[in-house]
Each structure stands twice: as C-alpha cells, then as structure tokens.
Amino acid sequence: EKSPHIYTREEVRSHSSPETRIWVTLGCEVFDVTEFVDLHPGGASKLMLAAGGPLEPFWALYAVHDQPHVREILAQYKVGELSPEDKAPSTLQTSDPYADDPIRHPALKVNSQRPFNAEPPPELLTENYITPNPIFFTRNHLPVPNLDPETYRLHVVGPPGCQSLFLSLDDLYQFPKHEITVTLQCAGNRRSEMTRFKEVKGLAWNTGAISTACWAGARLCDVLAKAGHQLCETEAHVCFEGLDSDPTGTAYGASIPLARAMDPEAEVLLAYEMNGQPLPRDHGFPVRVVVPGVVGARHVKWLGKVSVEPEESYSHWQRRDYKGFSPSVDWDTVDFDSAPSIQELPVQSAITEPKDGETVQSGEVTIKGYAWSGGGRAVVRVDVSLDGGLTWQVAELDGEEQRPQKAWAWRLWQLQAPVPAGKKELNIVCKAVDDSYNVQPDTVAPIWNLRGVLSNAWHRVHVRVTP
C-alpha cells in the first residue's frame, strides 16, 4: 500500500482551470475532477465554482450531494491528501445557510430538507379544493431568503432608453388587484413512478407536487406597460430573477414568452397574496410570479427582477433542466439545447384515495383524486377502471367549474362503485381527458426521460378487498 501524495492548499488552488486541470478537496482528500466537469448533472459552471478549493461550502447548499453514489463518483478521482498543517478546519464560512429557513407543517412528506422540498400526503391533498397554505407543496432550490417588506423593491427593467422602475409593495398595491385560482404543478410531480421503471435524476416526488391556491396581485402586463413595454412582433422573453441565491450570488431564474406575459387573458400575476394571506416565506414572500397553466418552475418566488430580453433566461433551470427528451437519450448523449424548455404542461390526473397497498371493504368503494391540464385546457372527463383498464366508469367531477381557455385550476373527482362480488383485489386506474381531447399515456415506458419530468401516465393503485 503506497502512502498518498501530499499536497498543500496552495498547490490545490493552482489547479483551477482546464489547462492546469481542475482539483477540489473534501475533508482532507484531494481530487482531480477534470474529466467529470462536463458530466456534472448540475452543470459544468456550478462545479467550476469550487475549482481549486473545498467542496463543503457548496455542498452545504446542494444537499443532493449528501448521497453515497455522489461520494463514489468523487472517490474515482482521488489523487492524494492535504498536508497535515492544511488539514485544520477551514476558516471558510461553515455556518448553516439553511438555519434561517421557516418552520414547516409536520404533515408534509419531506423529499429533501436542504433545500426544502416536500409534498402533502395524498390523504390531505384532495381534502380541500383550495390547498391550505401550510401544506401547499414546496419546491426550493436554495435557502429561503428573509426579506423585509418595508425595504423590498421589485426591479422592473424598462425598454431601451426608458428608466427602470423600482416598485415597493405599496406601489404594487396601486395596480388593479386581480384574484385567480391557479393550480401549480412541478415538472417532477409523480417522478417516483418513472424511477420505478428506470432510474432518473431528481427528487422522488409522489403524486403531491401539485397544489391549488387563490392568488392575488398585480397583472404582469399592467406592470410592464407602466414601465413602457409593448408587445413586440419578434419573439422575446420576460426573464425573472429570484432573491434566493447561492454563495456566488447566482439567483434562481426563469423566463416565459413575452406574448404570454403581455396577454391580459393569460392573467400572469405578480402575486402578493395566497388564499387571502401575505405569501408564506416558503412560497415567495413578499412577491412571486404566478403563470397560470404553466409549469411550476416559471412561477419565480422572492421576485427581485423582471426584464424583457431577446433570449430566454440563461438560468440553469431554464436551459439545463426542466426539458423533456426521448427515452433513448441518456446523460452521455443529452443535448439540452435541442429541446424546448417546458412551459404548458400535459394533461394529468392521480388517485388520492384509496392508497396503494390499502385494504378496502367489500360492497362499495369510493375512489377520489385530482385532474388538471396545462395551458388553460379544461378537464372534461375522468375515466376510472377497477380492473386494470379492461372496463371503465366515468367519475363525477367536483370542484369549481372552469372557464373555457382559462381552466387554470384542477378538478377534484370521485367515483362510488360497487366492488364486483368475489373480487379479492382491485387494480384501480384513472385517466383524464382535456378539452383538446388530449389523453394520458397508459404506461411510463414511452415517456420515460432521464430527468424524470412530465410523468403523467395512467395512475394505478392496487388494493386488497376484505372478504
């Protein structure tokens, strides 16, 4: 057994570019990760932030690295260890960037603590048409900023030659207040079903990365018009930046097409209220974007800046994530530039009651769930099967009737059905149809993608029947 090569922090620091090779440290170990940089699922530029130094301050922020398979990848690249005098605990910031995160509701099923990602359990999800704020699913990529409503300013960049606006909350309250009920769904909702088919990279969401609230705020088109923006003929994008950022100051960002932003009928909001309350901190206090009918990732929270740009947002989350690919594409062949960013979502439905693996009474069974489609397309029907899809019954649609072309919110649905005599088990299936007659695929196989997004196959629940 050879003793390891010993390096000083000084030497490690000199390896911080492709020319000098890229080294990083974790604890007292030194790694040459040059060959891994372009393979990094979080993007080459993120990894490069740690080039020549310790990973800890960055990994403290992205706890996705707190997994054995990540350590195994890193171990392959070990080239040596730090010299003993360099092993002393680094003087770098070691305080927990998540220490100031808000307290959460204990009912939430936590997928990741730092950053905080959690969903309501299915048995609570469809208890209310409007999801109560404390159990609304939460998808954070970074620590939750703690913003002072008194000093908060929204920076709205004006068109060339015009001045920027810096809007306080009071300024925003002066615009006409619009209230709309909107369902928000993460692109990764139901990812765990894709993972069961074949491994994907991402948080293992079940059926709860979706929730509904009544949002109130100023319309984005009114605020942009005030700044002097007009709908232009050429394609352009409205870019949003959050006030949540990593230690290098990189903020969460996303964009939507200008046409949607300027269309009063699209009802894009700069929301400051959620179900009659100021936004909770986890959901973007004091102001977030709400883009009805569009994937959750574009509903930027803790909104700091709005600008009209010739190109989509350059954010990692716009360009290198939240895109769909063929099942044939893997991490060696994926070309993120080749696919459009997800905006409107496909038709979706899921069963929330009974739960998979439960035992139900013979006689009659009650089946409940939700259904929703993107782009304002209304759900027109939900079909339910008790025999794995051989025969179907039409469920009763509850919840609020939706406006044509503006069906921003889900429908809850239920079916009371006799349990066929002698059945020992039921294979319950649901599928929804929207007003464009879009339907859900029957299995995940043909829609599987490496990132596990857009998972909307028929939802299946297997239950036993008490004799």
In this structure, what DSSP letter does residue 454 have?
Answer: S
Alpha carbon distance, N-terminus to C-terminus of the chain:
65
Is 181 a residue that touches ligand MTE (CB under 6 A)?
Answer: no
Residues 175, 154 contacting (CB under 8 angstroms): no
* # residues contacting ligand MTE (CB under 6 A): 20
Is 40 a residue that touches ligand HEM (CB under 6 A)?
Answer: yes
Q: Which two tokens stand for residue 326?
A: 């063929």
From 23, 56, 65, 292, residue interacting with ligand HEM (rule: CB under 6 A) = 65
Q: Which two tokens stand for residue 3?
A: 């003793």
105 is catalytic: no
Is 459 a residue that touches ligand MTE (CB under 6 A)?
Answer: no
15 is catalytic: no
Pairing of strands 425-434, 459-465: antiparallel
The stretch near ligand MTE (CB under 6 A) out of 84-92, 135-143, 418-426, 445-453 is 135-143
Task: Identify the active-site residue in 15, 65, 191, 288.
Answer: 65
Is 252 a residue that touches ligand MTE (CB under 6 A)?
Answer: yes
Tally of CB atoms within 10 A around 111: 22
Is 63 a residue that touches ligand HEM (CB under 6 A)?
Answer: no
To the nearest 10°, report the CA torsion of 435, 441, 446, 452: 80
Q: Which residues, other chains included, contact 11 with Cβ-Cβ below 8 Å and sequence gap of 6+?
A: none
Q: 357: burial class by Cβ within 10 Å (0-12, 13-18, 19+)?
A: exposed
The stretch near ligand MTE (CB under 6 A) out of 32-40, 94-102, 295-303, 401-409 is 295-303
Tally of CB atoms within 10 A around 265: 10
* Distance of alpha carbon 196 from the chain centroid: 20
From 6, 64, 214, 417, residue interacting with ligand HEM (rule: CB under 6 A) = 64
Is 47 a residue that touches ligand HEM (CB under 6 A)?
Answer: yes
Separation of alpha carbons 129 and 209, rounded Å: 15
Separation of alpha carbons 466 and 238, rounded Å: 56
Closest CA to 367 of 388, 352, 389: 352
Is 139 a residue that touches ligand MTE (CB under 6 A)?
Answer: yes
From the list Mo ion, ligand HEM, ligand MTE, none, which binds 46 (C-beta under 5 to 8 Å, kind-based)?
ligand HEM
Residues 83, 6 contacting (CB under 8 angstroms): yes
462 is catalytic: no
40 is catalytic: yes
Radius of gyration of the chain (CA): 24
139 is catalytic: yes
- x/- track of binding to ligand HEM for residues 181-210 (CB under 6 A): --------------------x---------
Task: Identify the active-site residue in 7, 15, 114, 139.
Answer: 139
From 6, 28, 63, 73, residue interacting with ligand HEM (rule: CB under 6 A) = 73
Is 343 a residue that touches ligand MTE (CB under 6 A)?
Answer: no
Chain residues that interact with ligand MTE, rule: CB under 6 A = 136-142, 184, 186, 242, 244, 252, 282-283, 296-297, 299-302
Chain residues that interact with ligand HEM, rule: CB under 6 A = 24, 33, 36, 40-42, 46-47, 49-50, 55, 58, 62, 64-65, 67, 70, 73-74, 201
Q: Active-site residues: which are they?
A: 40, 65, 139, 186, 322
